[in-house]
Chain A
Amino acid sequence: MSVFNQSRSNIIRLIFAGLFLIISVQLFHLQIISKKYKLQAQANALFRKSVYPTRGIIYDRKGKAILNNTIFYDLVVTPSQVKNIDTAYFCQLMNIDTAEFRRRMTGPKIKNSPRAVTFQDLLAPDMYARMEENLWKFPGFNLQERPVRIYPYNAAAQVTGYVGEVDSAILRRSNNFYQLGDYVGRSGLEQSYEKALMGQRGTEYWLKDNKNQLVERYQDKALDTPAVAGKNLNTYLDIDLQQLAERLLYGKTGAIVCIEPSTGGILAMASGPTYDPNSLTGPDKQANYAKLALDVSGPLLNRAIKGQYPPGSTYKPLGALIGLDEGVITPASGIDCRGFYYGCGEVRKCDEHEPGHAANLRLAIAHSCNSFFYNTFRLELDNPEFHSPRIGLMRWKEYVNGFGLGHRLGVDLPSEDGGNIPDTAAYDKDYHHAWNSCTMVTMGIGQDKMQETPLQIANSMCVVANKGFYYTPHFVRDIEGSPEDDTLLSRFHVKHQSVSRISEDDYDVVQSGMQGVVEIGTGRVARIPGIDMCAKTGTAENKQVIDGRVVRLRTHSIFAAFAPRENPRIAIAVIVENGGYGKDAAAPIASLLVEKYLRDTIATDRLELEDEMTNKNTMPRYLVRKQFKADSARAAEYADETGDSSRWLKYQTPSFRYMMLDTSDNSKSPLLANLRKPAPYKSALAERLARIRAQAAAQQRAADTNQQPSQQPIQQSPSGDTIVRRRSPRTVKRDSVAAPNATPSSPNTPVLKDTTQQ
């Protein structure tokens, strides 16, 4: 053997060693330096499963849950486990045909999934019952719990809002905090307090195999974090008041806001028309939502914070306060008004004609004298102190802003509107700087460019009631389990008191005037015996653009009030669109609500008024035309997109058009019928009477059994009431005592019969 061969053995060893070195370097790179593979391995084999906490509950001021959680069930299917099932029977249970079943099972969503997929979500209760009974027959199918919102009182839909799946915009905004398929609050309190209500998602780590099936828990749950349930909200809402407000607003467009002046807590907020909040949670939520969204009367709109109305005469107390503070009027100021105001060249009407109705400030407010407040407004602007109406207007605006008008109040609901209080710029633009106090004189009675939301009107009542300050109106009193100085709520503890420089005497004068409204003035219909209420009626001009023309419609009926005058507990604003004068619709409604809140019940002699208001329908007829136009436009769009013009052609048929658009009294139009639907409430009066009778009958029966325990058992007949009447006159007397005006005004014996059987 030559020597060179010896060296070659070393070369071979070197080659061996060299390649192993290369391998070691690559291993070092893969295992030590690069972090990429560890992350990928986690993504491969670890599955982060989110555990959803139950959302927080919303309580009213008395601790009643107005928004709760219940369990619905999703039907889920694991495709690989489905074997030999009786498809026909399954379809029969599910109310679908076999073609639909096959379509769903072979659809891409289900067919290719190794894990359980939702076959149908949110089963209706009866379907759930059927499926649960028969589930064992369908291997691969399972029922999965799913918490769902429920509204036990069917009320406050626009306030609480609804939850829905996140959309891409929310996903982006949340910085990927939310995941596709998560549910979030989409409006109302659900949205405003999403952070508190949603709680903390928990995480479970699962190991999965190469087929993406979850195999076992990772590291024995060491890394798992439990889900923390959402925090409950305690609100100022009074659900009974809220229900009554919604009931009184039935068949009307408009809004009601009740605020507790001392705290700014909102007691009730209703917007008409409204909707059943439960319809947006159950199995048909999609269809229901579509129906609501397409309704031109806007049931999803919260008019209490989104509706902007000219405040009309409800502004007058504020105008008086500003005038008093600026010193341009005194409590004794008066004006000789005979129904017209001549001050600005043009003749302007005043609804009162009686001479002396505006002899002093108190009377002017009580009788809502337009002339007086035109004059006051002009005096405020042309105040000699300022030398110029420009400064006067800006000073005036400052005052008005101080009352919480002209800007968003910051209520804890999303997308509040701010109303409008014009400044000099707005008039400079419209009148090319050539304006004076006469140009905008109608602002003195809350018209012109002035716009307020019902919430702002109610809030301005709070200011007057509080004599100079208000707290930002809000719903939530506290969030359970949150520290006292919760940042979410801290802004509601700030006292806004920029108009508190107006002296208490001035407030007193104005309050007297407002009390006069109810006692001697325009709002006498709202008087509640025994309660000192301060109020102001309002009637706002209502112009709508219909088919391109400005049409003057029936005026909006407005009423703003607070009560009682000493230590006020409730401030209220009611707006009924197309309701006529303030006293026609808004005043009685407000009065009933105030009575309900302060007395907890409505006196029996006012129940007739309640029924009347409930059944009053002020839905404007132009909505028929508007709805028809919207529907036919949508049909045309549908025809454009799909080429199927059958729907659109229907809208072109003259007879169909005539039928649909007919708004005469014997119209068969379903659109009109929809607007004129009778209230789905029982008569309050009849109900109250029935309850009183029932109580009386029960008492009497108890008395009978006490008196003659062995004599004549009561089960003698189903018509116990006849026995009662016949046998004991004493109880009849007691009956009439309990309900003094019940017996004469109750013609309906069936009610009596029913109750005694209970």
Chain B
Amino acid sequence: MSQRNPTISKGIDWSLVWIWFTLCVIGITCIFAASWHEGDNVVQGFLSLKTDYSRQLLFLVIAGIVGTFILLTDSKFFTATANLGYAFGIFLLLLVFPFHTRVKGTESIIRFGSAFQLQPIDLMKLFVNLALAKYLSRVETNFTRPRAQLIASLIVLVPAALGKLQDETGLALVYFSFFLVMFREGLPPSVLIIGFTFSVLVVATLLMEPNTLALVLTGIAVLAIYFLRKAIKRSRNVLVVIVGLWVVCVGVQRFVVPWTFHHVFKPYQVKRIYDAIGKDYVPENQAVEAALESEQKSSNKKSSSNNNNYNVKQSKIAIGSGGLIGKGLLKGTQTRYDFVPEQKTDFIFCTIGEGFGFLGSLAFLGIYVVLLMRIVTIAERQRSVFSRCYAYGVASVLFFHITINVCMTIGLAPVIGIPLPFVSYGGTSLLTFSVMLFILVRLDADRQMVLR
């Protein structure tokens, strides 16, 4: 179809492009605010390519060029190459194991020389999204059947597992967001509900005294029995289910969580989870403590990211000190004097929080909300399942990144080090998200077409 419409602007949803551009500009401004110092030459700074904000500007230009090329590409190219791309992505992920370089505590990065580095697990989001969309849009796929659901889950979880093996928990977790896509395509809601209640239970376990929580759970069970006493009279099974659930919950709380924390997670991960919920992690014994210390030492090379408690505290202080309207751009005392570590990448939201306050933060998050809602709207107007699934995939990944990143900075989520889309400093991240978004724009331009 695109052949018949030589102008690339035909059918393009400009709102997405403008939002993308706005976010990128905000990002560069924030990086500028975080790294510019009194007396630096602004123009020279932007042209020199030596400063972070000038580099980010360069990446924005590159992303724009790549986006233009994508818009010129035929939509069928993406459906055709989806599986191939997935295979290529898996191949890259496997290449990581022999060729990785250890950077900042992760083993997921391949370096080419000193200038360019590739993180396949980051790039893989795009391929997984395409492949999942491709699989779900197959005519043969009947997603109501467990087999199809299992295959779809595998498509998503294999890269996640590889990412976990590469010590990149944060990005591996991103893949779980694709379950939202599957949910839209018919995955039973119980999966999401169980997942949600389970996570609530885990957090409650960490926060509350074990006995208190057990009492609370028992209380809930007793209340449930009381309210459902008529149903129980009719059928004994209800009682069995309630008691079964109670046993499972207490079991999880009493045994599964402690066991997991001791045997599955590494001490530093446990510490991060505790940091996020605002509790001090006291290592159980000498061995764990030693492990924690050696972990901190080895990841200490880049001088940051180890003391997450400090990071979160400083980040909360920075955001909290912003007040209602903020201190103004370049006026933030916390972000300007490097109190918040990683503030150009993972903690960039602090700059907005401190500089523009509550209202500025709301406005900024509002842009994201508009973006996500817009993508959902776009998804629902697609004729082809492939485009819809892909659009939902983009929305889910963005959503996961945004919420986890922001929650991280305001102390609602553990520090897992994932960037804020389009805003955080980092070429790979910006390019990946831009490409994902522009493919969506391209697919949306052909929304009348049925792609397979």
The interface stretch among A36-44, A496-504, A510-518 is: A36-44
Interface contact A31-B407, CB-CB below 8 Å: no
- Residues from chain A with Cβ under 8 Å of B189 in the complex: 11
CA distance A15 to B369 in the complex (A): 11
The interface stretch among A175-183, A206-214, A275-283, A601-609 is: A206-214
> Given the known A-B contacts A23-B406, A27-B358, A30-B410, are A44 and B323 also in contact in the complex, defined by CB atoms under 8 Å?
no
- Residues from chain A with Cβ under 8 Å of B411 in the complex: 26
- Residues from chain B with Cβ under 8 Å of A458 in the complex: none
Interface contact A16-B338, CB-CB below 8 Å: no
User: Nearest-CB distance from A34 to chain B (Å)?
Assistant: 6
CA distance A30 to B380 in the complex (A): 36
CA distance A24 to B184 in the complex (A): 26
Per-residue A-contact encoding for B339-379, CB less than 8 Å = 1, 0 else: 10000000000000100011001100100110011001001
- Which single member of A13, A22, A208, A215 contacts B376 (CB below 8 Å)? A13
Q: Which of B296-327 contact A (CB under 8 A)?
A: 314, 316-324
- B135 within 8 A of partner (CB): no
A-B interface pairs (CB < 8 A), number = 112
Interface contact A31-B353, CB-CB below 8 Å: yes
A-B contact pairs, 8 of them (CB 8 A): A5-B184, A6-B380, A9-B184, A23-B365, A40-B320, A44-B314, A207-B337, A210-B337
CA distance A566 to B112 in the complex (A): 107
- Which single member of B185, B353, B373, B395 contacts A27 (CB below 8 Å)? B353
Interface contact B320-A36, CB-CB below 8 Å: yes
CA distance A240 to B225 in the complex (A): 100
> Given the known A-B contacts A13-B376, A210-B338, A216-B38, are A23 and B412 also in contact in the complex, defined by CB atoms under 8 Å?
yes
Interface contact A41-B334, CB-CB below 8 Å: yes
Interface contact B321-A41, CB-CB below 8 Å: yes
Interface contact B319-A45, CB-CB below 8 Å: no
- A599 within 8 A of partner (CB): no
CA distance A264 to B358 in the complex (A): 67
Interface contact B184-A16, CB-CB below 8 Å: no
- Which single member of B186, B361, B412 contacts A31 (CB below 8 Å)? B361
- A residues contacting B by CB (< 8 A) are 5-6, 8-9, 11-13, 15-17, 19-20, 22-24, 26-28, 30-32, 34, 36-38, 40-42, 44-46, 207-210, 215-216
Interface contact B333-A38, CB-CB below 8 Å: no
- Residues from chain B with Cβ under 8 Å of A45 in the complex: 333-334, 337, 339
Interface contact B318-A41, CB-CB below 8 Å: yes
Q: Nearest CB to that of A13 among chain B residues?
A: B376
Interface contact A31-B333, CB-CB below 8 Å: no
Interface contact A12-B319, CB-CB below 8 Å: no
CA distance A2 to B363 in the complex (A): 36
User: Nearest-CB distance from A725 to chain B (Å)?
Assistant: 80
- Residues from chain A with Cβ under 8 Å of B410 in the complex: 23, 26-27, 30
Q: Nearest CB to that of B339 among chain A residues?
A: A210
- Which single member of B323, B324, B338 contacts A209 (CB below 8 Å)? B338
Interface contact A17-B369, CB-CB below 8 Å: yes
CA distance A198 to B365 in the complex (A): 54
Interface contact A12-B317, CB-CB below 8 Å: no
| Residue from the set B38, B189, B334, B353 with the largest chain A CB neighbour count within 10 Å | B334
Interface contact B337-A37, CB-CB below 8 Å: no
CA distance A207 to B330 in the complex (A): 14
Interface contact B362-A24, CB-CB below 8 Å: yes
- B392 within 8 A of partner (CB): yes
Interface contact B317-A31, CB-CB below 8 Å: no
> Given the known A-B contacts A8-B184, A9-B380, A207-B333, are A32 and B399 also in contact in the complex, defined by CB atoms under 8 Å?
no
| Residue from the set A30, A42, A216 with the largest chain B CB neighbour count within 10 Å | A30
User: Nearest-CB distance from B200 to chain A (Å)?
Assistant: 13
- B288 within 8 A of partner (CB): no
- Residues from chain A with Cβ under 8 Å of B338 in the complex: 209-210
- Residues from chain A with Cβ under 8 Å of B319 in the complex: 27, 30-31, 37
| Residue from the set B318, B320, B395 with the largest chain A CB neighbour count within 10 Å | B320
Interface contact A16-B373, CB-CB below 8 Å: yes
User: Nearest-CB distance from B263 to chain A (Å)?
Assistant: 31
User: Nearest-CB distance from B395 to chain A (Å)?
Assistant: 8
User: Nearest-CB distance from A692 to chain B (Å)?
Assistant: 71
- B180 within 8 A of partner (CB): yes
> Given the known A-B contacts A20-B365, A27-B362, are A9 and B379 also in contact in the complex, defined by CB atoms under 8 Å?
yes
- B226 within 8 A of partner (CB): no
Interface contact A12-B320, CB-CB below 8 Å: no
CA distance A5 to B185 in the complex (A): 7
Q: Nearest CB to that of A6 among chain B residues?
A: B380
Interface contact A37-B321, CB-CB below 8 Å: yes
Interface contact B361-A209, CB-CB below 8 Å: no
User: Nearest-CB distance from A503 to chain B (Å)?
Assistant: 77
- B403 within 8 A of partner (CB): yes
User: Nearest-CB distance from A608 to chain B (Å)?
Assistant: 75
> Given the known A-B contacts A17-B369, A38-B323, A207-B333, are A30 and B316 also in contact in the complex, defined by CB atoms under 8 Å?
yes
Interface contact A26-B323, CB-CB below 8 Å: no
- B99 within 8 A of partner (CB): no
CA distance A14 to B151 in the complex (A): 27
Per-residue A-contact encoding for B185-224, CB less than 8 Å = 1, 0 else: 1100100000000000000000000000000000000000
Q: Nearest CB to that of B368 among chain A residues?
A: A20
Beyond A30-B410, A31-B319: 12 further Cβ-contacts under 8 Å? Answer: A5-B186, A8-B183, A23-B410, A26-B411, A27-B358, A27-B361, A30-B316, A31-B322, A31-B353, A38-B323, A40-B317, A40-B320
| Residue from the set B38, B323, B337, B399 with the largest chain A CB neighbour count within 10 Å | B337
- Residues from chain A with Cβ under 8 Å of B186 in the complex: 5
CA distance A40 to B317 in the complex (A): 6
- Which single member of B183, B323, B333, B376 contacts A32 (CB below 8 Å)? B323
CA distance A19 to B373 in the complex (A): 13
Interface contact A208-B317, CB-CB below 8 Å: no
CA distance A44 to B406 in the complex (A): 22
- Residues from chain B with Cβ under 8 Å of A6 in the complex: 380
Interface contact A37-B320, CB-CB below 8 Å: yes
Interface contact B376-A9, CB-CB below 8 Å: yes
CA distance A46 to B316 in the complex (A): 17
User: Nearest-CB distance from B306 to chain A (Å)?
Assistant: 15
- Residues from chain A with Cβ under 8 Å of B376 in the complex: 9, 12-13, 16
CA distance A223 to B238 in the complex (A): 69
User: Nearest-CB distance from B238 to chain A (Å)?
Assistant: 26
CA distance A41 to B185 in the complex (A): 47
Q: Which of B151-190 contact A (CB under 8 A)?
A: 180, 183-186, 189
Q: Nearest CB to that of B184 among chain A residues?
A: A8
CA distance A6 to B380 in the complex (A): 8
> Given the known A-B contacts A37-B316, A41-B320, are A16 and B399 also in contact in the complex, defined by CB atoms under 8 Å?
yes
Q: Nearest CB to that of B334 among chain A residues?
A: A41
CA distance A491 to B362 in the complex (A): 64
- Which single member of A19, A20, A38, A215 contacts B320 (CB below 8 Å)? A38
CA distance A42 to B327 in the complex (A): 13
CA distance A210 to B318 in the complex (A): 13
Q: Nearest CB to that of B396 among chain A residues?
A: A12
